[in-house]
Amino acid sequence: MGETLIATSGYSYEDWRDVLYPAELPADGFLQYYALFFPFVELNFSYYAMPKPATMASMIARTPSTFRFSLKAHKSLTHEIGSGWREDARTLARAAGVLAEAGRLVAVLVQLPYRFHHTPDNRKYLAAVLAELSPLPVVVEFRNDEWGGERVYDELDRRGVGVAMVDRPDLPGLPAAAERVTGGIAYLRFHGRNADAWWNGDASSRYDYLYSREELEAIVPRLRRMAKEGALYVAFNNHAHGNAVKNAQELRELLGPR
C-alpha cells in the first residue's frame, strides 16, 4: 500500500480566513501557512495563467522539502484549445519540470470539460497532449461518462498516465462513481454533490458543498482499495467557505487509524 496524501484544490481563498488562515495573515503568506497543515496542494492558478518556472521555484523555496504540488493544465490545452496548443504544452512542461526536478511534482492535472466527447479527433488530440507532457507524471480527469470504459483506462495505464476519479452530483452524463487506478497513481477529487448548481452555477456555487461525516465514512472503503493500487492523492475542490479544509481534515481523521 502506498502513501495517502489528503489536501485541497487551491489554497489562496480569502474566505478561508478564520477557517484555516488567521485573519491578520497577509495573502502572500498563505502558502507557507497552508503547508503546515497539508502535504500537497492542487495549484489552480495555472489554469487561468500559464505558470512560469520562476514561480514554481519560488513556491518550492517557501515550502518544506516534503511538500508537493499538482499543477492544473492551462485552459489553452483543455477548454480553449487553439492552434498554438503544442507550444503551450511545452511551456507548461517547462514550468512543471522545475517541480519534477525538485521531487515536488505529484502530477500535471489535465481536467477536460464535459463537452470534450469521446470522438476520434479528441482521442487523437489527447494522445498528442500526453506525448508532449511526457515523461512528466500526468493525471487526466474526464467530466463526461463517455470516457469511462476499460479500453480508455487500459490505454492510459499503458502510457503510465493516471485517471482522476471524482465524487460529484448524481446527474446523467457525469462519470460514474468508480475506483480505477492507472499509471500507478490513485487520485480522487471531491467536487461536492450540489446538483442544483452543477450546470447553472458559477465556480463558487457549483462547489459550495460540505460533506457530512456519514458521506465521508461511506467513501473510506473505496479509498482504502484505491490505496492498494498506488500512492493515493485526494483533493477537495469544494472550496467555498473553507469547506474543503474542513472535509480534508475530517477525512484524514477517518483514515488515520490505519
pLDDT digits (tens, 9 = 90+) for 42-93: 999 999 999 999 999 999 999 999 999 999 999 999 999 999 999 999 999 9
Orientation angle between helical segments 120-133 and 85-101, nearest 10 degrees: 40
Which residue range is the domain that position 61 belongs to? 4-10+36-235
E-strand spans in the chain?
4-9, 40-43, 68-72, 105-111, 138-141, 162-167, 185-190, 231-236
Instruction: List all residues 6 or more positions away from 217 whose beta carbon is below 8 Å from its beta carbon.
Output: 254
What's the CATH code of the domain at 142? 3.20.20.410
Given this model, what pLDDT does residue 257 score? 53
Tally of structural domains, the chain:
1
pTM: 0.95
Given this model, what pLDDT does residue 143 score? 94
Given this model, what pLDDT does residue 177 score? 87
Tell how far CA 174 is from the center of its chain: 17
Residue 57 forms part of a structural domain: yes
CA distance linking residue 227 with residue 203, whole number of Å: 29
* H and E: helices and strands count for the chain: 9, 8
Given this model, what pLDDT does residue 3 score? 85
Q: 3-state DSSP call for residue 182? A: strand
Range 81-96 burial, b when 16+ CB lie within 10 A, else e: eeeebeebbebbbebb
Residue 19 forms part of a structural domain: no
User: For residue 226, which of 183, 189, 182, 181 has the smallest C-alpha distance?
Assistant: 181
**What are the phi and psi torsion angles at 4 (to 5°)?**
-125, 120
Residue 253 forms part of a structural domain: no
pLDDT tens sequence for the chain (258 residues): 568 999 999 999 999 999 999 999 999 999 999 999 999 999 999 999 999 999 999 999 999 999 999 999 999 999 999 999 999 999 999 999 999 999 999 999 999 999 999 999 999 999 999 999 999 999 999 999 999 989 999 999 999 999 999 999 999 999 988 999 999 999 999 999 999 889 888 877 889 999 999 999 999 999 999 999 989 999 999 999 999 999 999 999 999 854
Range 189-225 burial, b when 16+ CB lie within 10 A, else e: bbbbebeebbeeeeeeebbbbbbeeeebeebeeebee
Residue 25 forms part of a structural domain: no
Per-residue pLDDT tens digits for 10-27:
999 999 999 999 999 999
Residue 249 forms part of a structural domain: no
Given this model, what pLDDT does residue 203 score? 75
Given this model, what pLDDT does residue 1 score? 54
